[in-house]
Structure 1
Amino acid sequence: MSLADLAMVWGPVKVQIEYVLGLSSDAVHVHVSVLMFLFFALVTRRRLSHPMPWLMVLGVECLNELVDMNQPFGTIENNWPASWHDIKNTMFLPTMIMIVVALRDRGFMKPRQRR
């Protein structure tokens, strides 16, 4: 199966998921990215501050955008600005979670002790 064939199948599946969930494409990217981030952390048994789950989300998102870039002409999916927009939406919350957890783990977010 070529990328173009995969794109012909995957595009309508994504639209159907958005329709069933009643969410925009951007919202689906955000929700799925957090679910994938948590899933990959559990499966790899890595902390949320470890880069491995984050890199796995990035890898899945890059594959998704590669497929999107092979959508037939005339769709809004096969352009770099749209792909870059999707990558930013997808990676924002996993990035913020990873940074906050890493800061907390290193003691930067300890509560102040009462005297």
Structure 2
Amino acid sequence: MKITNGTETKIQKVDLVETFNYLLGLHVKQMDFIRGFQVIKGELRSGEKVLIIWRNLLETTNEDLEKFFVKQGYNTRDSEFDRIYVNGDNHLENLKLEENKWKVVLIEEEFKRLMFDVRDV
């Protein structure tokens, strides 16, 4: 990203994971890197419990994501999370059981909304 400081413009890397956590207002409780997936667990100011899964879209398929999700036991621990954020198109909603209450949210859509939606500002 090109960042201007005074009259000087520099190219600077932006940490998308940290920026997304900040925009959500997430209180991070745990951050791990598990078999190619960056996993963040935390809580929003509203009290909602959140799971965030980042993955390299060039290296992982939806099938890889689903296997990882099931292997970690997230589907069976429904009450643990209210929202699950994942980057890239996915089919995690298909793993949801009738009694599950969590909702899958695409990181890209939420990131854009948080960055540019100024209606309530």
Scaled by the length of structure 1, the TM-score of the pair is 0.29
Relative contact order higher in (CA < 8 Å, ≥ 6 apart):
1
Scaled by the length of structure 2, the TM-score of the pair is 0.28
Comparing both structures, which one devotes a greater share of its residues to strand?
2
